[in-house]
Amino acid sequence: MPSDWDVVVVGGGGSGLAAAVSAAESGCSVIVLEKLPVPGGTTGMAVGSFTASCTALQRRAGITDSVAAHIEDAGRFAPPAIEARNNEELRRFFLAHSSEALEWLRGLGLNFVGPNPEPPNRAPRMHNVVPGARAYVLALQRKLLRLGGRLECSAPVVALLRDRDRVIGVRARIGGREIEIRARRAVVLAAGDYANAPRLIAEFKGDRFAAIEGINPNASGDGQNLARSVGAPLINMDVTYGPELRFVPPPRRGWQEWLPASGPLVGIMGRIAPRLPQFILNAFIKRLLVAWQHPEDALFRDGAILLNRNGERFCNEQKSPEREIAIAAQPGKEAFLLLDQRLCQLYSAWPHFISTAPRIAYAYVADYERLRRDVFGRGPDLTSVVASRGLPAAAVAESVADFNAGVSAGRDRFGRTGDSHPLTGRDWVLLGPARAYFTTTEGSPAIDTNFAVLDADRNPIPGLYAVGQNGIGGQVLWGHGLKIGWAITSGRLVGRVLAGQPVSSGAPRSAPASALQPGKAP
């Protein structure tokens, strides 16, 4: 393997592969170093939405939109206190270039369905890749190899190399030994977030959150630590999406994860996917939904309770993040949701759903019974339902009686109020195990619109760039499809920057007179 490259990319997820492909398209020699045996990162685990405005697919669907409207709407997802932390200039830059990135992906052979609506977006902007997010990884990997780039897996980067103040390469552990790999133009950090980095979480968010896991167990903050090691301060490190309650992942891999990473079947998949019948696509989306989306908080407002492995209640289920902190302190860090007959009936039809990808799919009790038998138990009484999940019946019965006493009193011993229905009936469902997870994190070094990592004086650190979650740069990107949108957009643009190609400032196009007004449906 050559020891000198134009561009060294740290991380083989969506942003890293996009950066590598873009740089290689412009004539750079590129190597991607991925610490895991296979590429993909958090991108490969996602549902696959890419949110963008002024796209060809919107125009084909007759949807009127503008980047200016998208910028305004993107600020409505996070709570005001979190939104106030957003880097408005960088988000404006991102959204102005996102449609170009989507078209670039389509040019690589990727297919999308939609766009779909997601309030508070005033126009449908969510483009869903077919058959799922793994398709991004497959297409980008294939393109990189065709362009002569190299993808080296099981190759964790342990340090950045410097010559005075310039980053000139990396030290990576490959094949049981550490080797130095030089970068003639730049090192690009694309190693994902730190959702499963307890030391960083404890340092920036607080010790009480340190036991909560990341939805991606490999999101260990490698890029943030590397940037920090050469003097880059980290910003917004306490801003996280979550913690939130999620069911544990399915024990068996879905068919999406068995798709090949190279070879002729990749091309066949791309040709077949857009021709699949809609009912097959709907079934696939529903399966992803029950595998990755979180149970709605409304379940607890309507009367559901949480039990630990010992059959005990342990918190006020309606209060977050205290609920998630308490779950992480339970045996096995696990909890189970108990629904009685009334709740089983209530959560069997719209508008009461257990989980959702808004305006795309909704999952009810029957969907979990059919698709997630590993987290589903049902029975005509408490004894049978808890036996299906291995909980002690006597302890569960005591917990239910204690909860019902709190309903009668108007307040239980955990301070929970507002419940008007005791748990009872002849149909019971126990869902779990569930755990508390951080979904993503928003912290990274600061960057400029050339993706250069900035030092404490806001000056670029020569030779060091960051994209994706390593270069989110103070943005707050809540809402489906913005994280993948930023990963691909930032990766594509940094490749152009490193090849010396100009990138516009991304000033938003003005909304036409016919554009939708805030809050109006199309």
Distance of alpha carbon 522 from the chain centroid: 27
Where do we find the tokens 């989980």?
355
Question: Of 144, 132, 424, 399, whose CA–CA distance to 289 is shortest?
Answer: 132
What are the backbone angles phi and psi of residue 280, rounded to the nearest 5°?
-70, -45
Where do we find the tokens 């019965």?
397
Residues of the chain with CATH 3.90.700.10: 245-437
**Residues 6+ away with beta carbon under 8 Å from 456:** 231, 232, 233
pTM above 0.85, yes or no: yes
What pLDDT is recorded for position 506? 63
| Secondary structure of residue 333 in the 3-state scheme | helix
For 264-308, the pLDDT digits (tens) are 443 444 444 445 555 555 555 566 566 667 899 999 999 999 999
486, two tokens:
């930023």
What pLDDT is recorded for position 264? 43
CA atoms within 13 A on the CB side of 73: 29
Strand 355-357 and strand 166-174: pairing? unpaired
* 230: amino acid identity, one letter: V
The tens place of each residue's pLDDT in the chain, 522 residues long, gives 789 999 999 999 999 999 999 999 999 999 999 999 999 999 988 878 999 999 999 999 999 999 999 999 999 999 999 999 999 999 999 999 999 999 999 999 999 988 988 889 999 999 988 878 889 999 999 999 999 999 999 999 999 999 999 999 999 999 999 999 999 999 999 999 999 999 999 999 999 999 999 999 999 999 999 999 999 999 999 999 999 999 998 886 544 444 443 344 434 444 444 455 555 555 555 665 666 678 999 999 999 999 999 999 999 999 999 999 999 999 999 999 999 999 999 999 999 999 986 656 789 999 999 999 999 999 999 999 999 899 999 999 999 999 999 999 999 999 999 999 999 999 999 999 999 999 999 999 999 999 999 999 999 999 999 999 999 999 999 988 999 999 999 999 999 999 998 787 664 443 332 223 333 322
* Neighbour-count burial for 51-80, b at 16+ CB within 10 Å, e otherwise: bbbbbebbeeeebbbbbbbbbbbbbbbbee
Q: How far apart are CA 83 and CA 196, in angstroms?
A: 23
**Residues 6+ away with beta carbon under 8 Å from 381:** 426, 428
* 423: amino acid identity, one letter: L
**Residues 6+ away with beta carbon under 8 Å from 73:** 120, 121, 122, 518
DSSP state for residue 479 in the 8-state scheme: S
Residues of the chain with CATH 3.50.50.60: 4-189+213-242+439-498
Judge whether 243 and 209 are in contact, CB under 8 Å. Answer: yes
298, two tokens:
């409304």
What pLDDT is recorded for position 113? 85
What pLDDT is recorded for position 341? 98
Q: What is the CATH number of domain 245-437?
A: 3.90.700.10
For 133-148, the pLDDT digits (tens) are 889 999 999 999 999 9
What pLDDT is recorded for position 296? 95
Q: What is the CATH number of domain 4-189+213-242+439-498?
A: 3.50.50.60
